[in-house]
Structure 1
Amino acid sequence: MKSKSELRVAIIGGGIGGAATAVALQREGIRADIYEQAPVIKEVGAGVGLRPPTVHFFKNWGIYEEIEKKSSKSDFMQVVACNGDVLVSERWPLLTDNPEGKWARLIHRADLIETFLNQLPSDSIHLSHRLESITDQGDHAEILFENGHSIEADLVIGADGIRSTIRSKLFSDTKPIYSGTHAYRAIVNDKEAFELVLDHTFKVFVDGGIQIYILPLHHRNQVSFDVTLQSKDPSWRPIVEKKDIVKHLKNFDTKIQKIAENVEEYTCRSIYDIDSIERWHSNCVTLLGDAAHAMLHHTGQGIQDAGVLAEALREADSIPEALQTFQARRKPVTDKYQELSRQEPSIESETAFPEKGHFEKA
C-alpha cells in the first residue's frame, strides 16, 4: 500500500457517513476529498441520537468536546400512548463495556455535519459534483462527474445514500423498498413542546400505525418533532399539506395537536430501506452508511462504519485487505440493525429498544 500521505481517497457524498469518514481518515494521516452533489450543505433533517459506541470514535478523533457542547445527554427513552400514558420507560441499553454507558447524546443532524466539516481543509470539500460514472480498474477507480470533472483514486468510498449510484453500478441492483410510511419532520420551539420533554427523555407517542418522535434539543432551545404516518404514496418527496397531517392526530394529547398545527413548514419524506446486500466492496471501492445498508429512520450506522474503516486501513498492509476487514467487522452488525429497524414502536411494544436482546452487554 502507498504511504498514507500518498493515497488518493475520494468520498462520494457529504452526508453524515461521508463527512465522518473524512474526519476519521484525517486522524490516520490520510487526506480524503469529499464530492457532494448538492450546491450547498444546508441545515436539513432533524434530531439524532448518538450512542456510546459512536461517541467512542469522537473521543479518538478529538472532537468530543465540541459534540458535547452541541448536544444533550439523554438517560431514558419512552413509548407513550396517544393520551399520554407511558407504556414503556427504559434506560438506553448498555452497548459498551463501560457500565456507565446507558445513555445517548441528542443532537441536530446539521450541528453534527457542521462539526465534521469544520475539521477538514476547505479545499477538500467539492460541492456541485454529481457522479455520472465510475470505472473500477482493479487497483484504482476512475470517476466522471456530470459537471465534466474527472478524477482517479486509489480508494473510492461510496457514501452516496440509499439511492447509491456506486452500489447500482458496481455491486447490486437491489432497489430501495418503500415502507408504506411518510415522515413529516420539523424543528420547533413551542412552549408546549418543551413541556412534553422537560427532561432529556426521547419519547415516541403511538396510536395504531402513527408514531410521533419527540426528541429534545435543550441545548438549542428546540425540539425535534417527527410525525410518521402510513401512506400509499411512494414519492420520495411527497407534497402534503399541514391540514392533512394534523387530521390524523385527533386522538393525541392536545399539546401534540397544537404543536403540529403551529409548525410553519414540514420536511416531507417517504421512508425507504434496502434489503441486505451480499458484498460492499471491490479491491479499491467500498460502500458505507446508507449506500451499504440503508435502514428505516432512527437507526443509522454510518459513523461507526467510518471509524471501523479507518481502523482497518491503519491495520492492513493493502487497501483490498482493509476493505475485506471492514466488511467482515461491520456487516453482521448492520445486517441485524437493518432487520430490527423494521420493528415499529406500538402500544404492544415491550421495549423501546428492539436491539436490546442482541447487542446489550451483560
Structure 2
Amino acid sequence: MRAIVVGAGIGGLAASLSLRRAGVEVTLVEQTARFTEVGAGIQLAPNATRELRRLNVLAAVAAQAARPAHVSFRTWSDGSEICRYALGREAEDEFGAPYLVVHRADLHRALAAAVPPESVRLDTVVVGIDQDDDCAHVTTASGERLTADLVVAADGIRSAARQWLFGEDEVVFSGTAAYRALLPSAEVTDLDLPPLAVWLGPDRHFVHYWVRRGELLNVVAVFSTEEAAQESWTAQAEPGEQLREFADWDPRVLSVLERAGRVHRYGIHTRTPLKRWSQGRVTLLGDSAHAMVPFQAQGAAQAILDAAVLGDALTDATPADVPDALDRYVRRRLAGATSMQARSARAGSEFHLPDGPEAEARNARMAAYAAEHRFMPQATAWRAKALDD
C-alpha cells in the first residue's frame, strides 16, 4: 500500500507516522525547502497526547513541554478568579494521558524527527491531484507525476486540494483577530501569573501559559473586529497597538503586553463545515477539512485524531479497499470534528460577553459547574479515543 501525504504541518506529519504504523509506504510532499513551523504556544489535551504516545513521540514532546496544574478563568478588569479546573496529574490519572502546553515548533520538530528522511520530498509544489479507479496521482510544479494508492491532503486552511475536490470554497473570517507574543520568564516573574489562565472581557479575551519547560510565556490576546485582518503568522502589530486594544484591563495583563517585545497580529479564519472529506482515493485531513477558531484549544488535537483514525482505517486494507477505508475514516471523524468547530465558535461568543447580566450569568454558570466537576466541560472530548471515536 502506498500513500502520498501533501503538507508537512502537524496534521501531515502525524498522518505520515500513523500510516507508516499501519504498514503503508508513505511519501510526504512539502512545498518549503526545509522543515519549518512558525507559530508559538499550543495546548495538547489528553485526546491528542494519547495518540502521540501511540506514534512514539510523546516522550520527545513532553521533554520540551510544561504541565500546568490547573487552568484559571478570570475577570478582565481586576483578575478576580471566576473558577478553575484541574489539569496536571489529576487529568492524566483521569484520562490516561497528560495535558501539555508546548511551543508549536517543538511539537513539529518531534513529529518531523520521527519521519524517515527518505520518505520526505521537500521543495515540491503540488499543482494538481487526480485519480482513476486504481490509483491517485499528484502533479508537481516541475511536471513530475507521482502515483500512489491514496492521497491525503493535509495542506492547511487554504487547501488547494479542497477546491480541486469540492469546488470553490473560500476561507471565512471569524470576526476576531489576535496578538501573540513570547516573553522570557525572567521578564514576568514579578507578576505572579497563574500557569495557565484565560481572562474574559467584553469583546476580548486574554490567554497565557508557559511553554518550553517554563522558560517562555506564551501570550494570545484575542479581540473582536469588523475589519478583516490578515491571516499571517509573521505580520507584526504596530507599536503599542495591543495596549490600546486592551486599555483598562487588569494591570498584570497590561504589564505583560507592555513588556512583550515583538508582537504579531493575525486574523483568525475558519472553513465552512463539509458534508464529506473524501472522494474516491483522495481525502482531506486537519485544517483542510475542518479549520476552526482556537477557543477550545483543539485545532491540532483534531488533526492528530484524524491521523490516528486514518491509520486505523487503513490497517490491513488492500489497494482495492482504499475508497471504502477512506469512507470509514470520514464516518468516524466528521461528526466529532464538525461538533468541535461549532463548540469552539460558541466558546468565543461566551468569552466576549459584555459586562452586565449576561457576563454575570456566564460567570455563575462556570463557577457552579466547577464546584461540581474537577474538569472543564470540554473534557468530555478528551476522553474519546481514536479507536472509539
**TM-score over 0.5 for the alignment?**
yes
Counterpart residue number, 2:39: 45
Counterpart residue number, 1:181: 176
Cα separation, partners in 2 of 1:223 and 1:239, compared to 1, 3 Å: closer
Q: Does 1:84 align with 2:79?
A: yes
Counterpart residue number, 2:136: 141
**Does structure 2 conserve the Cα–Cα contact (< 8 Å) formed by 1:75 and 1:102?**
no
Cα offset, 1:43, TM superposition:
4.4
* Distance in 2 of aligned mates of 1:197 and 1:310: 44
Task: Give unmatched runs, 5+ long, in structure 1.
Answer: 1-6
Cα offset, 1:172, TM superposition:
4.7
Cα offset, 1:182, TM superposition:
1.2
Aligned residue identity for 1:276: P
Q: Does 1:333 align with 2:336?
A: yes
* Distance in 2 of aligned mates of 1:195 and 1:333: 42
Cα offset, 1:355, TM superposition:
2.8
Cα offset, 1:174, TM superposition:
2.9
* Distance in 2 of aligned mates of 1:65 and 1:100: 17
Counterpart residue number, 1:29: 23
**Does structure 2 conserve the Cα–Cα contact (< 8 Å) formed by 1:340 and 1:354?**
no
**Does structure 2 conserve the Cα–Cα contact (< 8 Å) formed by 1:93 and 1:353?**
no
RMSD: 2.7
Cα separation, partners in 2 of 1:8 and 1:192, compared to 1, 3 Å: same
Name which of 362, 378, 387 aligns with 1:355.
378
Counterpart residue number, 2:289: 292
**Does structure 1 conserve the Cα–Cα contact (< 8 Å) formed by 2:129 and 2:138?**
yes
Name which of 240, 257, 266 aligns with 2:237.
240
Aligned residue identity for 2:186: K
Counterpart residue number, 1:257: 254
Cα offset, 1:8, TM superposition:
2.4
SS in 2 for 1:326: helix
**Does structure 1 conserve the Cα–Cα contact (< 8 Å) formed by 2:44 and 2:298?**
no
SS in 1 for 2:34: coil
Identity across matched positions, percent: 26
* Distance in 2 of aligned mates of 1:265 and 1:141: 44
Counterpart residue number, 1:4: none
* Distance in 2 of aligned mates of 1:221 and 1:93: 18
Could you tell me the TM-score, scaled by structure 2's length?
Answer: 0.83
The structure that is helix-richer by fraction is 2
* Distance in 2 of aligned mates of 1:358 and 1:190: 31
Counterpart residue number, 1:323: 326
* Distance in 1 of aligned mates of 2:246 and 2:336: 35
Counterpart residue number, 1:18: 12
* Distance in 2 of aligned mates of 1:330 and 1:290: 13
* Distance in 1 of aligned mates of 2:184 and 2:190: 11
* Distance in 1 of aligned mates of 2:150 and 2:2: 7
* Distance in 2 of aligned mates of 1:27 and 1:360: 23
Counterpart residue number, 1:202: 196
Cα separation, partners in 2 of 1:254 and 1:218, compared to 1, 3 Å: farther
**Does structure 2 conserve the Cα–Cα contact (< 8 Å) formed by 1:162 and 1:274?**
yes
| Range 333-342 or range 316-325, more displaced | 316-325
Cα offset, 1:127, TM superposition:
2.3
**Does structure 2 conserve the Cα–Cα contact (< 8 Å) formed by 1:181 and 1:228?**
yes
Q: Does 1:282 align with 2:265?
A: no
* Distance in 2 of aligned mates of 1:76 and 1:172: 44
* Distance in 1 of aligned mates of 2:82 and 2:44: 24
**Does structure 1 conserve the Cα–Cα contact (< 8 Å) formed by 2:7 and 2:156?**
yes
Counterpart residue number, 1:131: 126
| Range 34-43 or range 268-277, more displaced | 34-43
**Does structure 2 conserve the Cα–Cα contact (< 8 Å) formed by 1:76 and 1:103?**
no
SS in 2 for 1:55: helix
Cα offset, 1:173, TM superposition:
3.1
Cα offset, 1:271, TM superposition:
0.4
Cα offset, 1:353, TM superposition:
4.5
**Does structure 2 conserve the Cα–Cα contact (< 8 Å) formed by 1:171 and 1:279?**
no
Q: Does 1:311 align with 2:312?
A: yes
Cα separation, partners in 2 of 1:192 and 1:203, compared to 1, 3 Å: farther
> After superposition, what is the alpha-carbon deviation per residue over 1:172-195, rounded to whole angstroms, capped at 9, x for unaligned?
533221111112222211435445
Counterpart residue number, 1:116: 111
Task: Give unmatched runs, 5+ long, in structure 2.
Answer: 353-358, 367-374, 385-389
Number of aligned residue pairs: 354
* Distance in 1 of aligned mates of 2:280 and 2:164: 15
